[in-house]
Amino acid sequence: MTHPSVWAGFGRHAAAYERGRPDYPGEAVAWLAERLSLGPGRCVVDLGAGTGKLTRRLVATGARVIAVEPADGMRAELVRAVPGAEAIAGIAEELPLADASADAVTAAQAFHWFANERALAEIARVLRPGGRLGLVWNTRDLADPVQRALVELIEPLRTTEHSHVGSGWRAALEASPHFGSVEEARFANLQRVDADLLADRVGSVSFVAVLAEEERRPVLERARALAGGGELDLRYVTEVFAAERSDQ
């Protein structure tokens, strides 16, 4: 379960998160929508929806979209940015949803925060027979020198509380009796940024967002300096995964 201090950090800087986080490429969203059979008449629950970066793309499929987000500030930004979704407060381990009420569940940039059997059992509970779980991450392309510089800037600030990045989520999913084998795909993704957007991107990282302002400000200034007064492309790899509910 995500620690409440993380919710508070994300919530305080929700506008920076909305501005600074990259979108998802159309090819990745199309792959996910096909695997989850999204469209009119279907219902998808977007967990840890944040400001709705994926949520808005799910709405565009014509499916009914329920966005679950624990941080009040993030959820308020989501309501503003994605009026077509139903936004509710909640956490993955205690979903405020009925049994077998969704055709699909998604989590974008979020599943690593709640990759545990309690959450997976809850996800399986709300899925209908044949329902699927879809996971998405924009991961840094470390062949990009700017991304490498960002890693050098922020990684020394990471704490144990914010050590969720990695492959532990996959072990949890594959060990769960509730889901079958994992299907996956990867897509190139570019984000055009200037100095301010680069600062917003860094400021939206969980362990930077929780810093006191006097600690956070110089980190953002160093991020701005990487843009060199112009614009540049940040390179990502968008990783997409799908797994079907197996306990039917």
Separation of alpha carbons 106 and 24, rounded Å: 14
Nearest C-alpha neighbor of 67 from the set 98, 90, 101: 90
Q: Residue 108 in 3-state DSSP?
A: strand
Residue 226 to residues 11, 50, 141, 192, Cα–Cα distance (Å):
26, 26, 16, 13
The 3-class secondary structure across 46-82, one letter per residue, is EECCCCCCCHHHHHCCCCEEEEECCCHHHHHHHHHHC
- With CA atoms as reference, report the closest residue to 42 among 30, 67, 59: 59
- Tell me 98's DSSP state: -
Residues 141, 60: Cα–Cα separation, whole Å? 27
Q: What is the pLDDT along the chain (248 residues), one digit of tens a residue?
A: 455 555 455 656 788 889 999 999 999 999 999 999 999 999 999 999 999 999 999 999 999 999 999 999 999 999 999 999 999 999 999 999 999 999 999 999 999 999 999 999 999 999 999 999 999 999 999 999 999 999 999 999 987 654 445 668 999 999 999 999 999 999 999 999 999 999 999 998 888 988 899 999 999 999 999 998 899 999 999 999 999 999 75
Name the pTM for this structure.
Answer: 0.91
